[in-house]
């Protein structure tokens, strides 16, 4: 998708995601569980400065914001930013394509948690690993990176899902495969949340 397409999708994003999750269908089966587990894990930590990469309509970070977290973020869509800024007036949000890097102000501080939900699948595997490695120096001691996305433990599981989904499979996205990324990212952990979603943790 280009920026205009993301802007057009902004208004109906939550509804389309919720329907897929409720019906337990690809690609958003397990969405609420993914966000819920990340939410609880972040709030279980003593300090709460959070960077959200590709925050969309801000479902996760708006909840964290309401619990007193200091929120920073970057998203591709200016319309998404406008919607989220209304929910989180004090959040510091920047527009930009994270595949080209983070906005400079975001790289000049550190965070207790860095989250990316259903956003990094636009990066190829090598780009994912390099991008996540670049985020590690931005973590405070004890901080963690949380990735919630369409994700699979193995390539075999991804292929089984792709065959089951058929023509609805999105050929333009590059989904997480834990067994492929783990050798590139020591310490990476994976927790499945549905047949097509999971949480990866690093840090």
pLDDT at 169 over 80: yes
Rounded Cα distance, 193 and 149, in Å: 10
What pTM value is reported for the model?
Answer: 0.90
pLDDT at 131 over 60: yes
Confidence at 23, pLDDT banded by 50, 70, 90: confident
Look at residues 18, 28, 7, 16 and name the one whose alpha carbon lies nearest to residue 173. Answer: 28
pLDDT at 17: 64
pLDDT at 183 over 50: yes
pLDDT at 52: 97
pLDDT at 18: 56
Confidence at 19, pLDDT banded by 50, 70, 90: low
Mean predicted confidence (pLDDT) in 18-30: 80
Mean predicted confidence (pLDDT) in 135-143: 97
User: Above pLDDT 70, what percent of the chain?
Assistant: 90
pLDDT at 9 over 60: no
Strands 197-202 and 139-152: antiparallel
Mean predicted confidence (pLDDT) in 17-30: 79
Query: Which ranges constitute the DSSP H helices of 44-176?
Result: 59-66, 78-87, 104-107, 125-135, 155-165
Which residues lie across from 176 on neighbouring strands?
151
User: Above pLDDT 90, what percent of the chain?
Assistant: 77
pLDDT at 6: 37
Rounded Cα distance, 54 and 121, in Å: 11
The pLDDT tens digits of the residues spanning 63-95 come to 999 999 999 999 998 988 998 999 999 999 999
The mean predicted confidence, pLDDT, of the chain is 89
């Amino acid at each position: 998708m280009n920026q205009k397409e993301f802007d057009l999708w902004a208004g109906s994003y939550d509804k389309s995601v919720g329907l897929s999750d409720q019906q337990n269908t690809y690609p958003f089966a397990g969405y609420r569980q993914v966000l819920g587990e990340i939410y609880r894990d972040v709030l279980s930590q003593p300090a709460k400065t959070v960077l959200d990469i590709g925050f969309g309509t801000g479902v996760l970070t708006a909840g964290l914001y309401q619990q007193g977290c200091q929120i920073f973020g970057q998203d591709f869509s200016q319309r998404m930013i406008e919607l989220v800024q209304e929910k989180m007036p004090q959040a510091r949000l920047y527009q930009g394509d994270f595949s080209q890097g983070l906005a400079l102000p975001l790289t000049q501080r550190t965070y207790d948690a860095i989250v990316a939900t259903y956003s990094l699948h636009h990066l190829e595997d090598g780009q994912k690993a390099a991008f996540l490695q670049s985020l590690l120096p931005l973590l405070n001691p004890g901080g963690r990176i949380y990735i919630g996305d369409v994700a699979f433990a193995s390539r075999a599981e991804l292929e089984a899902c792709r065959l089951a989904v058929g023509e609805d499979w999105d050929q333009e996205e590059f989904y997480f495969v834990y067994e492929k990324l783990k050798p590139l990212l020591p310490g990476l952990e994976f927790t499945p949340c549905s047949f097509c979603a999971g949480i990866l943790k690093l840090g």
